[in-house]
Amino acid sequence: MFNPFKTLLSICLLLGCLLTCQAGNAAPTAPERPKLVVLIVIDGLPQRQIDANRAQFAPDGFARFLERGSWFANAHYDHAYTVTAAGHAVLLSGASPSRSGIIGNEWRDPATGESMYCAQDGSATYIGQRTQPHDGTSPKNLKVQTVGDVLRRADARSKVIAVSGKDRGAIMPAGQSGTAYMYMSSTGQFASTTYYMKAHPAWVDRFNAARPADRYFKTSWSGSAAGLPIMYGVPQDDAPGLRYYSSLLQGPFADALTLDFARAALAGEALGQGEVPDIVAISLSGHDYVNHAFSAESELSQDHTLQIDRLLQTFFRDLDARVGPDNYVAALSADHGFMPTPEYSLSRGLEAGRIASGPLLTRLNAALEQRLGPGKWVTGFSAASLLLNRQWIALQKLDSASVAQQLKNLLLQEPGIAAAYTRDELLAGRRSTEPLFTRMRKSWHADVSGDVQFALKPNWMFGAGNLGATHGSPYDYDTHVPLMLWGPRWIRAAALSQRVGIVDLAPTLAHILQIDAPESSEGQPLPLTGP
């Protein structure tokens, strides 16, 4: 017998089953945006130091990324001249120097030959600190936008704060619309500039008034992290002063101060506590100073890597407590790697050497004088290029392209020079099959670069004597750096071996934040989710 109530019940059950099945087959919804993105940059940390020291890492420093996040074992910069400003400009823009205009830490104005610093801006000054003519005070020279710029354009309530031991380490990640704070090596304080604000917020004044840098006075950095017989002291002056505050950069002390200032910024700006995401970028500068002085192969550098690891573990603990481990994404990388010293390479049977830049410039000008007549034909080095004296060439009614070609030929006759290309060759872009051309072109910008771009041979560096190491080459020891991300709600735990570019970080963070990638970005989002 027909029962309308049973029929209605059956229809309801059938509809419920269909809806349940459809829901089960639907694509999972993306998690909400993180409340905070934390970028940590270790200045001058090559990937090989992560590999070499992994067994000694603490449970929750670098290991947070290596064991519970996604890390890319084969991440590289794509440009040839790997230096601090260029790398920091790439990280949150995804744009190589050929787009960002940040071709180096300094260069010469192609029209006048005047020395230019990457972050100089005569219209801005440090707040409460003395400002020198070439100090870094704004992102005026940065020609591209960053993830933070896109985020703040979408919603001005988002905050973007960058802090570093170096001005360029803060200014480049802060972008055009963030706020940069940098360590003042003359006073031991942190300061911003009038580009960003008229006066510091109260929390900055409170931090500086406590004089936190003074707590390391008459303290030595011991090799306790690695159990090494190391003792590196700061100057034993009568009172803290310029020499003392500057010395803190070469070791873990300024890094500890930088993280302390980041903690103050998290509290003072309520970062990660609002309705929209925020970004904090923290660049730790000490490792670069250590590696320049002692090399990445030194015991001191090994211990400093472990000191950073311990500092990060403590910082992550505090960050978890303040923001919540399920509310933020952390990314870690470096602005460049580091070459071994030429002497170390020679001891391993490799061709290597040092080039004194002054005598090289003298030789090149002398050779051009023999060919073209008296005059200073080359103004000087400009980042990874040589700049011709264009005014003198015009007065002599010579073709600058022809002079550039002659300069290139002379340069290639020098020991230690691997490749050189003229402005015309770089503009034409027809040498892409040559091994170094593409990377060198990514380090060259028509508006600010010189007339002959060059690269040294592997294991060669500029510098006299036999002390110290550097970076700035297109080779793996300088381009191969850590790239790690952590954030349990957004990022799987995985060790990934495919080659990726550091230019991929910016579009990846933009994807996580559900905003557009910066318009000049060259990269693609990294594979951080899925099996």
Q: Global pTM?
A: 0.92
How many domains does the structure of the chain reveal? 2
Report the interhelical angle of 84-91 vs 167-174 (nearest 10°).
30
DSSP string, 289-325: HHHHHH-TTSHHHHHHHHHHHHHHHHHHHHHHHHH-T
- Whether residue 146 is found in the same domain as residue 206: yes
- Whether residue 280 is found in the same domain as residue 420: no
- Whether residue 167 is found in the same domain as residue 307: yes
Q: Is 47 helix (H, G, I), strand (E, B) or coil?
A: helix
- Whether residue 209 is found in the same domain as residue 263: yes
pLDDT band at 224 (very low <50, low <70, confident <90, very high): low
In terms of phi and psi (left: phi > 0; alpha: psi -120 to 50; beta: otherwise), the region of 270 is: left
What percentage of residues in the chain have a pLDDT greater than 90? 87
Closest residue by Cα to residue 361 from 388, 327, 392, 341: 388
CA dist., res. 458 & res. 114, Å (int): 30
pLDDT at residue 453 in the model: 98
CATH number, domain of 424, equals: 3.30.1360.150
Tens of pLDDT, residue by residue over 326-379, are 999 999 999 999 999 999 999 999 999 999 999 999 999 999 999 999 999 999
Q: Which of 399, 427, 462 is the last residue of a domain?
A: 462
* Cα dihedral across residues 395, 400, 402, 406: positive or negative: positive
pLDDT band at 12 (very low <50, low <70, confident <90, very high): very low
**Does 432 fall in a domain?**
yes
Q: Is residue 11's pLDDT more than 80?
A: no
- Whether residue 154 is found in the same domain as residue 123: yes
224 vs 433, higher pLDDT: 433
* Cα dihedral across residues 81, 122, 140, 45: positive or negative: positive
Domain extent, residue 413, equals 353-462
- Whether residue 333 is found in the same domain as residue 418: no
- Whether residue 107 is found in the same domain as residue 131: yes
- Whether residue 201 is found in the same domain as residue 79: yes
* Cα dihedral across residues 216, 221, 222, 227: positive or negative: positive
In contact, 496 and 527? CB cutoff 8 Å: yes
pLDDT band at 464 (very low <50, low <70, confident <90, very high): confident
**Does 127 fall in a domain?**
yes
**Does 529 fall in a domain?**
no
Arithmetic mean of pLDDT over the chain: 92
Largest interatomic CA distance in the chain:
116
**Does 190 fall in a domain?**
yes
Closest residue by Cα to residue 46 from 76, 81, 13: 76
pLDDT at residue 431 in the model: 78
Tens of pLDDT, residue by residue over 115-147, are 999 999 999 999 999 999 999 999 999 999 999
- Whether residue 159 is found in the same domain as residue 299: yes
What percentage of residues in the chain have a pLDDT greater than 70? 91
CA dist., res. 204 & res. 192, Å (int): 9
- Whether residue 84 is found in the same domain as residue 138: yes
**Does 23 fall in a domain?**
no
* Contacts of 218 by beta carbon, 8 Å cutoff, 6+ apart: 234, 236
Q: Is residue 524's pLDDT more than 90?
A: yes
Q: Which residue type occupies 160? A: V
Tens of pLDDT, residue by residue over 376-398, are 999 999 999 999 999 999 999 99
What are the beta bridge partners of residue 494? 70
pLDDT band at 282 (very low <50, low <70, confident <90, very high): very high
- Whether residue 128 is found in the same domain as residue 174: yes
Q: Is residue 6's pLDDT more than 70?
A: no
Q: Is residue 9's pLDDT more than 50?
A: no
Tens of pLDDT, residue by residue over 50-99, are 999 999 999 999 999 999 999 999 999 999 999 999 999 999 999 999 99
**Does 138 fall in a domain?**
yes
- Whether residue 377 is found in the same domain as residue 409: yes
**Does 71 fall in a domain?**
yes
CATH number, domain of 85, equals: 3.40.720.10
**Does 455 fall in a domain?**
yes
